[in-house]
Structure 1
């Protein structure tokens, strides 16, 4: 893959790239409608492919917050047209890497030494490159290391990038600006945390230690003396990312072991630690033929407020939800319905949310769940598509759902997606969650 010798860091230059991309997108729409005049049977598939390619090309070269938003959108298969999902998914671990001089400059600026002075060996070509940073392989005192380097200008461009990318997100997703305003504040706070590598190092060490007892998980050791505000040095983990791993045709037993380990990892964090690794895209996991899975990158950690946690997981309790008054109270607490809603709106949205909750919480209500059940996921995607196209939802003047739900929902959607790809059949019942809490 071609390396980048520079990244636009000024607000003016980055905004200019977006304006150029906006013109390309506009041109793509004109081409689409021209084709449609010539051939009324023309679909939007080519339009989506052209727009996805142009937008991703810009975002992957700008890196940072803009590319991170694309990565987040790619994880929700029900939110975007397929062309966007597939293209944006490349941001998970295959964005264009930085050139050698930029890498060396980051070391000298933040650690006062070049990579060759700090490590015994250092591979200048990146092993993978994502939205916030890229990873290089190194060795020191007989140990193989992974060195994560943050792209220049990322931390300083979070706020301005999000302001620029918002119109693209609104147009692609079809969400009202009021919804975006509510959630972009949450996204901004998390992205600012992700650019703080000292915070990430601390969280990585703490959460790895807290989850070390969970079977079949592997975490790297971390090296604070070879880390800085823009560099993190950790042990190199062997393994394959999800798509590569599945190409090896692993047995069902191995798929189930990995699936169980991931399920346990997330349930223990949410229910026992009240904080969670909230970036469950495939680029953050390395899967192995023995059924173990390596986990790294604790840059995005969502702390779960107790009142939100209590209300959110009451949604799993079918007995509680049978009480209409109690259900209304929970929906209100979670901002799914609002005090300003008319009785008709309360009835309408309560019905929609109840069906969605019944679908999404199903794994929690049974002892074992087969995530290889394609009919289950097809039903979810069909219902999400139905909601997306409902005029009442698109015309809603208020955002539905607490800001805290953004990253918690994202975490579970990401986890479900990985378990679905693995076709894992695992223990998901409440007894398993209680067992993890005791360990």
Structure 2
């Protein structure tokens, strides 16, 4: 293995662990001003300096693992806001893209130690075959291909030694969590002042669950049960007898990675985009469940237009009333009904009880970032549109500052924002085209199947009832 560095992750000092992310967030506050001045005076950004900075942050966040690396994964496909000029956004995203599935791996000796401790023997004994080289390495563990003694090919996810302790320390680190939340808000400086404590608690609960692979296995098995036999949505089966809190074994699925998918022909990209949309939004509408970690490393793309979904450590469960309100708010925004939107948002806890925002401004604010539903259909998603929407929508000096002052968002919706931003960024990178509003209407308004994929989807759910 090329990288044999010590992999045991130290929780370290709070300042030390936070340093990589704090440094990157510091760019947001400071270099946003510098970048703005450069643009106004016509002075160009030096591409070499941006490239070096991007590689440096990718290295530090990748080596840090845990919460810090997860921040890097999010930044690899979402916007950096004004801290990084538009011409350099792609430089940072390319550098951080390797954190999606190709982070620095741990030494094989650590892999052996974890499997021996968890499964009672070395990999070569527990499994009929076990590849020493990992398929990929991510924020909490890395994945190796193997084969069970009954012949089944499997993917074995092995948790990094010490990562659980490091994550718990990160989640107790108020400064780090606040900085992480800045990342979740799209790296927009001075953005709206949410209740950071409440949101941090929600984020901590979701990320904390990812430490225990038994929780992830249960989540994945639940999704696999729902989607088993689906025509274009795949979830790998869990091998529970080879799964513990630090080792997760599942059916091995092979497919294209995101970097390959975005270069595929347009017809395939459209089908993949629709599959992702139907999984992300359809799971919320039908199952009251959503997969809350939508970064590109969690998808495998297949030539028949299907998509395999991975990593079920971060899942959110909702109740029917909450999902009903979500559907109603989106429909009100699409229908340009400002009074209804304000009514639903107040019921959801998004508006202060006494707040009376201008209805047109509220509509304009809510619809920003919903172009895939509000613009003429079919609509082609754009990565730049998704990024710009985040930066503008939550800027206190932007066109929606009066609306922002009336909001009091429920922290439970924090993870929904994460999935919306993540999904829109992925669809934008794929440049996927579809009648997105008609697809949404299948669930939210009881409309007919909007596409051939919709017909197959409806047939599957009709047969499974």
Say whether the fold is shared (TM-score over 0.5): yes
Single out whichever of 327-336 and 91-100 deviates more from structure 2.
327-336
1:270 to 255, 272, 284: 284
Single out whichever of 136-145 and 332-341 deviates more from structure 2.
332-341
Deviation (angstroms), 1:300: 1.3
Question: Closer, same or farther in 2 for the Cα pair 1:302/1:338, shift >3 Å?
Answer: same
* Structure 2 portions without partners, runs of 5+: 450-457
Question: Closer, same or farther in 2 for the Cα pair 1:24/1:190, shift >3 Å?
Answer: closer
Q: Give RMSD over aligned pairs.
A: 3.6
Deviation (angstroms), 1:277: 1.3
Distance 1:232 1:126 in 2: 14
Single out whichever of 49-58 and 217-226 deviates more from structure 2.
49-58
Deviation (angstroms), 1:111: 1.8
Match of 1:161 in 2: 170
Alignment coverage as a number of residue pairs: 424
1:242 to 246, 258, 278: 258
| Preserved contact between residue 320 and residue 327 of structure 1 (Cα < 8 Å) | no
TM value normalised by structure 2: 0.78
1:167-206 superposed matches below 5 A: 168-169=179-180, 170=182, 172-174=187-189, 175=191, 178-206=194-222
Distance 1:285 1:155 in 2: 24
Distance 1:23 1:366 in 2: 38
Question: Closer, same or farther in 2 for the Cα pair 1:21/1:387, shift >3 Å?
Answer: closer
Task: Map Cα deviations across residues 146-188 of structure 1 (whole Å, 9 max, x no partner).
Answer: 1111122222233431424235444954246654433222111
Distance 1:196 1:119 in 2: 22
Match of 1:60 in 2: 62
| Preserved contact between residue 351 and residue 406 of structure 2 (Cα < 8 Å) | no
2:6 corresponds to 1:5: yes
Question: Closer, same or farther in 2 for the Cα pair 1:332/1:85, shift >3 Å?
Answer: farther
Question: Closer, same or farther in 2 for the Cα pair 1:326/1:259, shift >3 Å?
Answer: closer
Distance 2:249 2:388 in 1: 43
| Preserved contact between residue 7 and residue 61 of structure 1 (Cα < 8 Å) | no
Distance 1:17 1:78 in 2: 21
Match of 1:134 in 2: 142
Distance 1:79 1:390 in 2: 14
Match of 1:413 in 2: 421
Deviation (angstroms), 1:354: 1.6
2:312 corresponds to 1:310: no
Question: Closer, same or farther in 2 for the Cα pair 1:362/1:168, shift >3 Å?
Answer: closer
Distance 1:324 1:256 in 2: 32
Distance 1:391 1:366 in 2: 26
Single out whichever of 280-289 and 54-63 deviates more from structure 2.
54-63
Deviation (angstroms), 1:421: 2.8
- The 3-state SS of whatever aligns with 1:315 is helix
2:234 corresponds to 1:221: no
Deviation (angstroms), 1:9: 2.3
Task: Map Cα deviations across residues 396-425 of structure 1 (whole Å, 9 max, x no partner).
Answer: 678753223222222233222333333333
| Preserved contact between residue 74 and residue 88 of structure 1 (Cα < 8 Å) | yes
2:104 to 93, 96, 99: 96
Match of 2:79 in 1: 77
- The 3-state SS of whatever aligns with 1:156 is helix
Distance 1:299 1:25 in 2: 26
Match of 1:296 in 2: 310
2:442 corresponds to 1:432: yes
2:137 corresponds to 1:145: no
Match of 2:345 in 1: 331
TM value normalised by structure 1: 0.82
| Preserved contact between residue 192 and residue 396 of structure 2 (Cα < 8 Å) | no
- The 3-state SS of whatever aligns with 2:330 is coil
| Preserved contact between residue 337 and residue 400 of structure 1 (Cα < 8 Å) | yes
Distance 1:229 1:78 in 2: 34
Deviation (angstroms), 1:49: 5.3
Deviation (angstroms), 1:320: 9.3
Single out whichever of 87-96 and 68-77 deviates more from structure 2.
68-77
